[in-house]
A = this chain, B = another copy of it.
Amino acid sequence: MKQIAFIGLGHMGLPMARNLLKAGFQLSVFDLVQSAVDQLAGEGARAAASATEASENAEVIVSMLPASRHVEGLYLGDDGLLSRIPAGRLVLECSTIAPESAKKVHQAARERGIDLLDAPVSGGTAGAAAGTLTFMVGGDAAALEKAQPVFAAMGKNIFHAGPDGAGQIAKVCNNQLLAVQMIGTAESMAMGVANGLDPKVLAEIMRQSSGGNWVLERYNPWPGVMENAPASKGYGGGFMAELMAKDLGLAQETAQVSASSTPMGALALQLYRLLLKQGKGKQDFSVVQQLFRDER
């Protein structure tokens, strides 16, 4: 039975770690927030006082951190975790970070003979809790083969996106498109309703037609159209607008590296920033619907 270290027990990391426990893995966990560590310790994990301590004897290390600087801080440098673990270990870096940053960490791991995969997820806190996350994985196919049972305990779809950093690139491409579709859906919904259509009828027509998309299937931004969507619960829960703004920022960094032109993605970022300025960053990202509704 594998021994796993899990570092980063936030909104996503905690339920992901819990699913590893449920699947029978032995877990040692670390987070800067002690209460999160304590909670998992109460469920059978071993509490560690540092990432290094958690990683001792662990065959696999899983990390889930907020941003590029945390990941680089954890792994790189003379004191970094990659300098403290033996060759041959497997690292599953699941944070959503800049592809350039992921490539740096990959490079450092390679130099030390450590197998590392960048494996950002989609599916939100609900998917993390249910163990139905999607993993988009960059790195060697052989390492992915080894990691399969670990991913399988936390997610449903595991995609091999390509070489080092490819997981992050697939993630920002996907989330950029998601944001564009969310806003595009929201503005077409608002325009249709303003011209007299019933929101449920319009949503259903577009869902079954060439306008169909994941937002219309699962996550309609108009309150009342889907009972379980965040829009119908005051835009609570779900995927926070400020996290979408973060991902769209990563997309623009990625576009900068390749000099790609992404007019829709760039506009989506600006509109989410307008929304954040209105104090709505902590609400679900479908709250962008409110930009297009009449407040008068």
Task: Spell out A's residues near B (CB within 8 Å).
Answer: 99, 122-123, 134, 136, 157, 159-163, 165-166, 169-170, 172-178, 180-181, 183-185, 187-192, 194-198, 201-202, 204-206, 208-214, 217, 219, 245, 249, 251-271, 273-274, 276-279, 291-296
| Cα separation A122 to B212 with both chains bound (whole Å) | 12
The 7 closest A-B pairs by CB, nearest first: A180-B184, A261-B273, A213-B213, A177-B211, A194-B258, A263-B270, A174-B211
User: Are the CB atoms of A259 and B276 closer together than 8 Å?
Assistant: yes
| Cα separation A160 to B296 with both chains bound (whole Å) | 30
Nearest B-chain residue to A259, judged by Cβ: B273
CB distance from A270 to the nearest CB of B (A): 4
Write 19 A-B pairs (CB below 8 A) sorted by A numbering: A157-B208, A161-B205, A169-B197, A170-B192, A170-B197, A173-B206, A181-B181, A187-B261, A187-B262, A187-B264, A190-B261, A191-B255, A191-B260, A255-B273, A261-B273, A263-B274, A274-B291, A277-B291, A277-B295
User: Are the CB atoms of B195 and A261 closer together than 8 Å?
Assistant: no
The answer to whether residues A266 and B257 also contact, given A196-B169, A213-B181, A295-B279 and a CB cut-off of 8 A, is: no
Q: Which residues of B are found within 8 Å of A264, using beta-carbon distances?
A: 180, 183-184, 187, 264, 267-268
Nearest B-chain residue to A274, judged by Cβ: B261
Most chain B CB inside 10 Å of its own CB: which residue of A208, A277, A278: A277
User: Are the CB atoms of B99 and A195 closer together than 8 Å?
Assistant: yes
Since A174-B209, A181-B184 are in contact, a sample of 13 more A-B pairs with Cβ atoms closer than 8 Å, ordered by chain A residue number, is A159-B204, A180-B181, A187-B261, A190-B262, A213-B214, A252-B256, A252-B266, A253-B256, A261-B291, A263-B274, A266-B266, A266-B269, A277-B296
The answer to whether residues A161 and B256 also contact, given A169-B197, A214-B213, A269-B266 and a CB cut-off of 8 A, is: no
Q: Which residues of B are found within 8 Å of A266, using beta-carbon distances?
A: 252, 266-267, 269-270
- Of B163, B196, B208, B278, the residue contacting A163 (CB under 8 A) is B196
CB distance from A244 to the nearest CB of B (A): 11
| Cα separation A292 to B266 with both chains bound (whole Å) | 14
- Of B136, B188, B256, B270, the residue contacting A205 (CB under 8 A) is B136
User: Are the CB atoms of B265 and A294 closer together than 8 Å?
Assistant: no
- Of B172, B211, B295, the residue contacting A181 (CB under 8 A) is B211
User: Are the CB atoms of B170 and A205 closer together than 8 Å?
Assistant: yes
CB distance from A139 to the nearest CB of B (A): 13
